Copies of this chain bind each other. A is one copy, B any other.
Amino acid sequence: MTLSWSSSGLDVHLGWQPETGRTGLAAAIRAAIRDGRWQAGAAVPSTRALAQDLGVARGTVTRVYADLAAEGYLRTAQGAPTRVATAGALPQSPPRPAAREVAPRWDLRPGRPDLSAFPGQAWLASTRKVLQRVPATNLGYASELGAPELRDTLAVYLARSRGVVADPARIVVCNGYSHALTLLTRVLHGKGVDEVAFENPSLRMYRDLVAANGPRVVGAEVDDDGIDMSALDSPAVVVTAAHQYPMGVTLAPHRRAALTRWAGDSGAIVLEDDYDGEFRFDNQQVGALQALAPERVVYAGTVSKTLAPALRLGWLVLPRSLVEPMRAAIVDSGSRPPVLNQLTLAELIDSGGYDRHVRRSRTEYRSRRDRLLAALPGVVTPRGISAGLHLTLMLPDGGPTETEVLAACRRRAIGLEGLRSYWQDEGRPGGVIVGYGAAAKHAFAGATQAFIEALWEVTP
């Protein structure tokens, strides 16, 4: 019902629906005040007049006016007419709606699993079990380091699957790897760490995150044996030991020994970002570096590659000396992962559903890698093929440039990444990082085909 009248000096349009009752009437008047139809300082219709016009009891209008006076919209005074009181600065026009991320037509973005394969039934079943079995009081405020149930489960899982020296007391659960990296950076910065070394190349987003939280960032070269620590003199270093991101090499045994020895001698902290350790395709199992020096190496893992980034769950396995500082940093960050998600993941791992999904995914990704490798033209050199969700393709000196390949992909609505942002300096070789995880199963062949066409188009 839209009413319009000016019996009281106010021209009133109230978009009020009678079935919304008193609450709806109050909302309609608030809206009228906000957008200036009921102007600041003007007398409002008498309760009698408005009740009559609306066809409601006078008491209804009286109570709505009282409510709005309590909220500060109206001003009442003994023996004087009720007036519009507000004079706040109110929004004049609604802003544009929030932008939604749109997946590219052909999704070859690295670092993403196939979300269409998310084990929704298993996740739901685990959530149901948690809600049935767990005492309701466990749905309260989370303990700082994470739900004890998940920390117990992760200790067993990480020891079994990745050879991590993990006991629950040194595990902390975070809102994904980014949160873990941020908190660890703050802890280390608080202990005087003013510089963090990253592999060169490495993911820029994480370097930026560290720099935003205190320390400066420097680079360390990566060769076929992984990070070269001969020039390393930072008090902290981040490594992707099992499968260097993005170059894909595995840290060689002699380097592993040297890195942990260096950390022990210099008192440095090594952060082992084990982002895709579950997806190893050859027989060369590579256990966690952390196990060689659990008091110098922080191990980091996540479900973002195995299940979905939408769950925002990651963890650190910490040297003992960092557990209490990390607890304080978590409290100061005001942020903890939801207990419900933590308990659901623990249940999923305990039930075997997590391992089943990882095994299924590993088989699928290996098959995609093989198909992609078979389709690649000889002009590109694939790197890092033994694990993970991506290939890095190096481009030849005389061949297409990174810019040309990216432009050809953009024209075909193919999403992938160039190597440039991964380097910390200029003049490095060009390349593209092709993720074979992200596409849905039915779309992978088409994405591969489109990418190969893009490559041919720009190959001289």
Kindly list chain B residues whose C-beta atoms are within 8 Å of the C-beta of A286. 67, 70-71
Given A26-B285, A334-B175, do A118 and B136 touch, yes or no (CB 8 Å)? yes
> Which listed residue (B34, B139, B163) contacts A71, Cβ 8 A?
B163
Q: In angstroms, how far is the closest chain B Cβ from the Cβ of A67?
A: 5
A410 CB within 8 Å of chain B: no
Which A residues between 378 and 419 are near B, CB-CB below 8 angstroms?
A: none
Asked if B142 and A309 sit within 8 Å, CB to CB, the answer is yes
> Which listed residue (B141, B170, B180, B341) contacts A341, Cβ 8 A?
B341
A243 CB within 8 Å of chain B: no
Asked if B72 and A336 sit within 8 Å, CB to CB, the answer is no
How many chain A residues touch B (Cβ–Cβ < 8 Å)? 116
A140 CB within 8 Å of chain B: yes
Among A71, A169, A213: residue with most chain B CB under 10 A: A71
Q: How far is the CA of A27 from the CA of B120 in the complex (A)?
A: 31
Given A95-B167, A152-B97, A308-B139, do A333 and B335 touch, yes or no (CB 8 Å)? yes
Q: How far is the CA of A139 from the CA of B115 in the complex (A)?
A: 7
Asked if A101 and B140 sit within 8 Å, CB to CB, the answer is yes
Q: In angstroms, how far is the closest chain B Cβ from the Cβ of A84?
A: 12
A46 CB within 8 Å of chain B: no
A257 CB within 8 Å of chain B: yes
Kindly list chain B residues whose C-beta atoms are within 8 Å of the C-beta of A338. 175, 310-313, 337-338, 341
Asked if A294 and B128 sit within 8 Å, CB to CB, the answer is no
Q: Which residue of B lies closest to A339 (CB)?
A: B310
Kindly list chain B residues whose C-beta atoms are within 8 Å of the C-beta of A97. 148, 152, 168-169
Of A48-56, A86-94, A232-240, A423-431, which stretch is located at the interface? Answer: A86-94
Q: How far is the CA of A182 from the CA of B186 in the complex (A)?
A: 15
Kindly list chain B residues whose C-beta atoms are within 8 Å of the C-beta of A127. 124, 127
A209 CB within 8 Å of chain B: yes
Name 12 interchain pairs, CB-CB below 8 A, sorted by A.
Answer: A67-B286, A72-B253, A73-B287, A85-B253, A98-B143, A118-B131, A127-B127, A136-B440, A139-B309, A209-B331, A209-B334, A310-B338
* Closest A-B pairs by Cβ, 8 of them: A182-B334, A178-B334, A72-B256, A139-B310, A88-B293, A95-B169, A310-B339, A120-B131
Instruction: Give the interface of A toward B (CB within 8 A).
Output: 23, 26-27, 30, 34, 63, 66-73, 75, 85-91, 94-101, 103, 107, 112, 114-116, 118, 120, 123-124, 127-128, 131-132, 135-143, 145, 148, 151-152, 159-160, 163, 165, 167-170, 174-176, 178-183, 209, 212-213, 250, 253, 256-257, 260-261, 264, 283-289, 291-296, 308-313, 320, 331-341, 440
